[in-house]
């Protein structure tokens, strides 16, 4: 089996991370790297990789099969198009581009030269997401009607260029693209509407967090949230269904389920003292009325990202991360920006084209 030769453009944190992923996969190998910073070129050499002197050296090298674009967001479009036009297959880091208009240009370029273009939406393989997906598909808490997905920290916006709008900075494009990709894949229903609020509490020119409310045609509602000034984190996932609730507090943890027991003759809740008053509505159910479980099953992913990419290139397999799915995510991101800016609800048709009313 001949390995695909991958040249990495941008040898920063993500580029070097990709290098490790590639070397762990039997279908691909790193044939070299390029970065505009001399410091990163030296790091690549120390890591044992061939260093190309320029982007053109990669594009004109007939031994290079694939160009991996792992640069700041604003450069993704131009680098991807140049690589495609030189006859290379392309893997691009997320977000694929700054907007759907740019993305359409990339897809048109890939179509013209008949080359594979895939976006590295690696959070499709997160164990917590696959656990929630299995729980959702198998109706472990009945019919799900609300999902909360969030990531929170207290370290602000990382890095340098991510603080600048012209480079495609901000948390909606950085982390939001991951969470939205997950939620759209999970619910798998046309999106009806989006409402959102962006956070600028850190004083940057870009959002340092956001909260969005998504309503799907199948009735599911989702809250997708990113925060960078949260000194106490809320659960990574919180799922509510007609027969129970599920929570995953953080990465690497199992889901905790509380479900209806369906035991007959269970005593009804009695009023409890709640602050300065009484409540029966918010009283806890009796122990006989509920079942507490730990759930750690995950939906099976047969191939890793790079194995799937190899099969798409060599066997015309179906991509796990489809370009039309990525396009939909970018369309929703545009709707979230508009919803926050106009302080309105953005309604979307089944093709996820934003229609503001």
Band of residue 269 on the pLDDT scale cut at 50, 70, 90 = confident
Rounded-to-integer distance, Cα 200 and Cα 213, Å: 18
Q: Tell me: the pLDDT tens digits for 208-232?
A: 999 999 999 999 999 999 999 999 9
The average pLDDT across 127-148 equals: 98
Q: Tell me: the pLDDT tens digits for 61-71?
A: 999 999 999 99
251 three-class SS = coil
Quick one: CA dihedral 174, 89, 78, 57, positive or negative? positive
Tell me how crowded residue 260 is: count the other CB atoms within 10 A of its CB.
16
The pLDDT of residue 333: 97
The average pLDDT across 195-201 equals: 97
CATH top-level class for 4-120? alpha beta
pLDDT at 355 over 50: no
pLDDT at 167 over 50: yes
pLDDT at 275 over 90: yes
Superfamily of domain 124-251+332-348: Dihydrodipicolinate Reductase; domain 2 (3.30.360.10)
pLDDT at 93 over 80: yes
Helix/strand/coil percent split, the chain, to 5: 35, 25, 40
The pLDDT of residue 270: 86
The pLDDT of residue 68: 98
The pLDDT of residue 267: 79
The residues with which 245 forms a beta bridge, in sequence order, are: 240, 258
- What percent of the chain has pLDDT above 90? 90
The average pLDDT across 92-121 equals: 98
pLDDT at 352 over 80: no
Quick one: CA dihedral 276, 279, 284, 288, positive or negative? positive
Whole-Å CA distances, 4 to 12, 27, 31, 62, 147: 22, 6, 9, 12, 39
Residue 76 phi, psi dihedral angles, 5° rounding: -60, -45
pLDDT at 343 over 50: yes
pLDDT at 357 over 70: no
- Secondary structure string (H, E, C) spanning 22-56: HHCCCCEEEEEEECCCHHHHHHHHHCCCCECCCHH
- What percent of the chain has pLDDT above 70? 97
Q: Reply yes or no: is the peptide bond before residue 95 cis, omega within 30 of 0.
A: yes
The pLDDT of residue 1: 63
Rounded-to-integer distance, Cα 156 and Cα 208, Å: 7
Query: CATH 3.40.50.720 residue ranges in the chain?
Result: 4-120
The pLDDT of residue 79: 98
The model's pTM is 0.95
239's tokens: 């799922």
Q: Look at 266 and 140; give whichever has higher pLDDT.
A: 140
The pLDDT of residue 353: 46
- How high is the mean pLDDT of the chain? 95
pLDDT at 285 over 90: no
Rounded-to-integer distance, Cα 190 and Cα 350, Å: 5
The average pLDDT across 308-337 equals: 97
pLDDT at 292 over 60: yes
The 8-class DSSP code of residue 185 comes to H
The pLDDT of residue 92: 98
The average pLDDT across 268-290 equals: 89
pLDDT at 354 over 50: no
Band of residue 351 on the pLDDT scale cut at 50, 70, 90 = very low
């Amino acid at each position: 089996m001949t390995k695909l030769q991958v040249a990495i453009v941008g040898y920063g944190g993500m580029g070097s991370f990709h290098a490790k992923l590639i070397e762990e996969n039997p279908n691909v190998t790193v044939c070299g790297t390029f970065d505009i910073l001399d410091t990163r070129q030296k790091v690549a050499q120390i890591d044992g990789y061939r260093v190309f002197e320029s982007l053109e050296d990669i594009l004109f090298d007939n031994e290079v099969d694939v160009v991996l674009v792992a640069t700041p967001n604003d450069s993704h479009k131009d680098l991807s198009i140049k690589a495609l036009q030189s006859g290379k297959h392309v893997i691009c880091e997320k977000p694929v581009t700054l907007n759907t208009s740019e993305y359409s240009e990339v897809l048109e370029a890939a179509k013209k030269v008949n080359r594979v273009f895939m976006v590295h939406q690696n959070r499709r393989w997160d164990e917590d997401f696959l656990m929630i997906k299995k729980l959702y598909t198998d109706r472990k808490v009945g019919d799900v009607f609300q999902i909360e997905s969030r990531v929170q920290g207290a370290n602000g916006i990382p890095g340098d260029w991510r603080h600048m709008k012209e480079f495609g900075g901000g948390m909606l494009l950085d982390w939001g693209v991951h969470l939205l990709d997950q939620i759209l894949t999970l619910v798998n229903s046309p999106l009806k509407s989006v409402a959102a609020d962006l956070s600028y509490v850190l004083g940057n020119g870009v959002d340092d967090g956001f909260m969005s409310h998504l309503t799907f045609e199948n009735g599911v509602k989702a809250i997708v949230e990113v925060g960078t000034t949260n000194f106490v984190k809320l659960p990574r996932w919180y799922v509510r269904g007609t027969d129970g609730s599920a929570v995953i507090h953080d990465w690497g943890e199992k889901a905790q389920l509380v479900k209806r027991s369906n035991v007959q003759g269970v005593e009804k809740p009695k009023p409890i003292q709640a602050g300065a008053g009484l409540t029966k509505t918010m009283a806890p159910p009796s122990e006989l009325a509920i079942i507490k479980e730990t759930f750690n099953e995950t939906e099976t992913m047969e191939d890793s990202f790079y194995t799937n990419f190899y099969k798409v290139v060599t066997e015309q397999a179906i991509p796990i991360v489809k370009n039309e799915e990525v396009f939909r995510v970018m369309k929703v991101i545009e709707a979230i920006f508009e919803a926050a800016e106009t302080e309105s609800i953005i309604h979307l048709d089944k093709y996820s084209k934003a229609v503001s009313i």
